[in-house]
Amino acid sequence: MNGVRSAGLSQPAGNGRRRVRAALVALLAGSLLFTAACSSSTSKSPSWQGGGSNGAAGTAESGAPSPTPTLSTVAVTSPKAAATDVEAWSDVKYTSEDPENTTVKVTNAAGEEVKGTVDKDENVWHPGESMDWGSKYTVTVSTPAVDGKGNETTSDFTVMKKPANLVRVTSFLGDGNVVGVGMPLIMKFGRAIPAKYRATVERNMVVTATPAQEGTWGWISPTEVHYRPKVYWKAGTKIDYKVQLKGVKLDDGWYGKSDLTVDLKIGRSLIMTVSNKTKKMTVTENGKVIKTLPVSLGKPSTPSSSGTMVVIEKKEHTVFDTTDTDPKGGYKTNIDFAQRITWSGQFIHAAPWSEGQQGKYNVSHGCVNVSEAMGAWLFKQTMMGDVITVSGTEEKLKNGNGWTDWNMSYDAFKQTSAL
């Protein structure tokens, strides 16, 4: 037994330990490969660790972080900072990298916000009211906050002092008036308005009719502008118009003196139609004929005007005196129930001296003669702005000889608008 040696024991001790370690490494490597081959390809980590949402693999899948949002730059470009002598209706212009989300506010010295509208396409704030002479205003332009920080800029300006040259602006009609369906809205100016400023004037005069009706302003002269609807006003219409011309430039060095508003109403519809052929007047109220009466119009030497007019004024008793303009052929006569329809002196009125000719012959000096009884009746029915149309006479009505807004088509009237 002592002569027999075991093969394993015949190796040195160090060599045996190395072989054991090598075998263990090989065994572990095979075990790892087996585990990887049996794992699910969709699993990022063991399920008991909550899946891949919080693991390293999940973090890698979220991609690159979003860029940090940046603030939009804003600036006021007009009026310039600390500007003085700014006109009272000046626009505010600004720049913004995010115009859709930009807000603009203009405040007075007391911190009160000025009414206005923002055009985000043009980056302009338009005032909705006149700013006060000599007052200081602050413009604030801002965009939404990003990461708790907002972008905002402010700028101050001062409105010009009250100018010495102011244009008086007046409305012919006043609050509470009730007028006929042919009544134009009439604005007058104390100074002629040059053509290049008239569009601005029209934009600052807004008419609201209830029910709504299409209409337009038209210039009768450089000192007078009228508004009429496309067709006669609807009976019962409520009309509000706002004239905002205080501080508006109306000429070089001249500005509107004041603003005003007017609220009025249209009465019932009353239309008078006079035919020279039949020598009769037909009176229609709200679409229904209520009276037909005989008339006498102007004789051939002094014809009545054919055209559409409206009642301008009414006088129950007055005196017609033409001796100043016609010393030889003039006359002076007491007149009852006179209703003016032209500036040249044509009226509807009672003429008891021509009652025998009414309905048969024309004997007047251009007026529409009716009997004393019919003059009194008609006077009670009518109001300022009621319509009268005369047809078939020797002379056509001249535009401007009275309120002749209806003596032309709507398209022709629109041509007198600066817009």
pLDDT of residue 327: 72
The answer as to CATH 1.10.260.40 being correct for domain 166-267 is no
pLDDT of residue 272: 98
Asked, colleague to colleague, whether 166-267 and 270-404 share their fold, the answer is no
pLDDT of residue 142: 94
- The mean pLDDT of the chain is 87
Residue 46 has pLDDT above 50, yes or no: no
pLDDT of residue 363: 97
Give 117-175 pLDDT, tens digit per residue: 999 999 999 999 999 999 999 999 999 877 766 789 999 999 999 999 999 999 999 99
The pLDDT of 321-333, averaged and rounded, is 77
Q: Which residues contact 158 (CB under 8 A, 6 or more apart)?
A: 82, 83, 84, 85, 86, 134, 135, 136, 137
The pLDDT of 96-102, averaged and rounded, is 91
What is the CATH number assigned to the segment(s) 74-159? 2.60.40.3780
pLDDT of residue 331: 78
Give 266-318 pLDDT, tens digit per residue: 999 999 999 999 999 999 999 999 999 999 999 999 999 999 999 999 999 99
Residue 263 has pLDDT above 50, yes or no: yes
- Domain range annotation of the chain: 74-159, 166-267, 270-404
What is the CATH number assigned to the segment(s) 270-404? 2.40.440.10
State the pTM of this model.
Answer: 0.77
Q: Which residues contact 78 (CB under 8 A, 6 or more apart)?
A: 90, 91, 92, 93
Which of the 8 DSSP states describes residue 346? -
Give 209-258 pLDDT, tens digit per residue: 999 999 999 999 999 999 999 999 999 999 999 999 999 999 999 999 99
Q: Say if CB 245 and CB 258 are below 8 A apart.
A: yes
Percent of the chain surpassing pLDDT 90: 77
